Chains A and B, each alone.
Chain A
Amino acid sequence: MFRGVKVLNWNQMKELPSNSLMNSNAINIRELTKVYRGGVRALDRVSIEVKQGEIFGLLGPNGAGKTTLVKILLGALSATSGDGELYGRNIGSAASRERIGFLPENHRFPSYLTGKQLLAVYGGMAGLAGGTISGRSDELLRLVRMEQWQKTKIRKYSKGMMQRIGLAQALLNDPDLIFLDEPTDGVDPVGRHEIRQILLDLKGRGKTIFLNSHLLAEVESVCDRVAVLDKGRLLKSGPARNLIEALPTFRIETSGITEEQQAKIKEAFSHGLYDKNIIRISFHKESDVNALIDFLRGMKIEILAVIPDKKSLEENFIQLIRGAQENQGGTA
């Protein structure tokens, strides 16, 4: 019945080009919950799918549960409930970590090692042979521009250099899935640009990247899809552009608004921000601003300027988090 179908073992599958496995997800997690001792709920039924070959960004304020999620995926933490797979292998198993690279946030690489020794140690722990490590190390040290520091002890490295050598460490075993927790933290603007370029190059080679970052601009510039976590709950997930897309916003400058008039405007357009003669307000469609202009003119208010004012990513992100917190407060 299955004549002619070749069954591949794991090692043979690893030899296949990355795009041979494009139909499956790199990460599947279902209803993942983590409750720490003391009752702190760090993750609350989080389900995420990350497709192979995409850059996936995880956003959220401090304490949102981002690092907890990554640690569970890597087996450093156990989930209270829920399950998931990395490339079809159960999270937490040693086999699930064969195809991954990881750069943690606040890493403390052994200070007694040099950059080159660090790569030798972690390359070996990833199962690479000496010859492979040597070749890959040279290549990666060039990529992250650390060749001249390779024989220097890590204790002498700056924060940015630590991130660079950490990135090289994460890429040493040529992983298919790379977890990066704040990879550009402490890196100068030029270095940040270079790291972003490296991420895009890796994506071009079919690698999957899971990026934890506070830097919204960074997420927007490299991520295909984004999830937003807050207090352990998944608020939103989807394409980066849709998720943090700005609504059309206007700054309307007027003169001589009385308190009575302002009260009437607030009643009609309650979602605006009012500061004396300045109104800042968002609409779902740009043309909807005409309704406000007509309303103001109907009250004989002089309009000095109508200025399109696109909200920043940060403002949208904050609005999303605040909205979630208000909803939570309302339901509590």
Chain B
Amino acid sequence: MNKFLAILYDTFLEIKSGKIIYLYGALTLVTFVGMALAPQFQIDGRDIIADGMVPQEMMSMAQAYFYKSFLGFYVLLMLFGTAWLLPRYLGKGRVEIALSKPIGRIPLAGMKFIAVFCIMSAILILGTMPIWLILSIRLDIFSMTYFGGLLYAMLDFLLLYGLIFSLGLISRSGAVSLIGYFVLLVASGLLAQRMMIYDFLGDSIWKTILDVTYHILPKYGEFGENYLTILTDWSIKQIYPVWSTILITVVIWGLAAFIFTRRDY
């Protein structure tokens, strides 16, 4: 436990020292102040919210769209803020000291991963909850589905950071990790739409190749589509992209950890 707490403490201090932490704070602060000071919408002198001029469902849907965008953007910022943590940790002159401690390489990588996840999850909660609170007060709709969206965003970050962490473990480069993430994000989005070009492919081998590629890659595009349904009625639109992305991320992580145990530093 002492070893994990030490890594958690170190990770916290490293994240705290980074400039991107101010960006999270600024984003939350600006959004919060903007919402707090925003004027009431009125038509002919009547408050559209207080006077019930807009149906409740429509307001809830608008709120869900906003939370989806805000949580998604926050997760993206979190990925940018954490992509360099592991490569720096594995840098020459630093990694030797970590490896000289009585910790196996897989536990070391695992503890670092969990430490980053815990801290970033706390930032996600602290950064988005004030927004939920002010929006709920202003609209007078305390949507509990936000918490479902929050948990889903944490899972989203866990999986995306799992990929970035794995790529960082292999490449020791934050830039390569982020590029790898974007390539997979675009590829998964395109592959999700592969049905649209099936008619042009006929029964060719390309159809099989696209199918296999779709199934063996993480499905980040479709994974993100569940945000809206969770935020509106707690339902999950597509479960296959969720469990298959979890499974594939676990496999990628395991492979990266295996390479890490064999690597010379």
Contact = CB atoms under 8 A, between A and B. Distances in A.
Contacts of B102: 94-95, 97-98, 126-127
Interface of B is mostly: helix
Contacts of A106: 92-93
B10 A113 contact: yes
B209 interface: no
Contact of B95 (A76, A78, A125): A76
Contacts of B10: 110, 113, 121
A121 B5 CA distance: 9
Contacts of A120: 6, 9
A125 B94 contact: no
Contact of B3 (A36, A102, A104, A124): A124
B6 A123 contact: yes
B264 A76 contact: yes
A11 to B, nearest CB: 13
A301 B213 CA distance: 92
B99 interface: yes
Contact of A74 (B5, B99, B262): B99
Contacts of A95: 102
Interface string A86-130: 000000001101101010101111101100010011111111111
Interface string A169-185: 10000000001000000
Contacts of B103: 94, 125
Interface string A123-147: 1111111100000000000000000
Given A122-B6, A124-B6, A97 B96 contact: no
Interface string B12-25: 01101100000000
A41 B229 CA distance: 60
B96 A124 contact: no
Nearest to B10: A121
B193 interface: no
Interface string B90-127: 01111111111111100100000000000000000000
11 contacts: A75-B99, A76-B265, A78-B262, A94-B107, A97-B101, A104-B97, A106-B93, A108-B91, A110-B13, A112-B17, A125-B6
Interface of B: 2-3, 5-7, 9-10, 13-14, 16-17, 91-104, 107, 262, 264-265
Given A77-B264, A110-B94, A126-B101, 20 more contacts: A36-B264, A71-B265, A75-B100, A78-B262, A94-B103, A104-B93, A104-B97, A107-B94, A108-B91, A117-B13, A120-B6, A120-B9, A121-B6, A124-B3, A124-B6, A124-B7, A125-B6, A125-B7, A125-B103, A130-B2
By Cβ-Cβ distance, the 7 closest A-B pairs, closest first, are: A124-B6, A108-B93, A112-B17, A102-B100, A125-B101, A98-B102, A121-B10
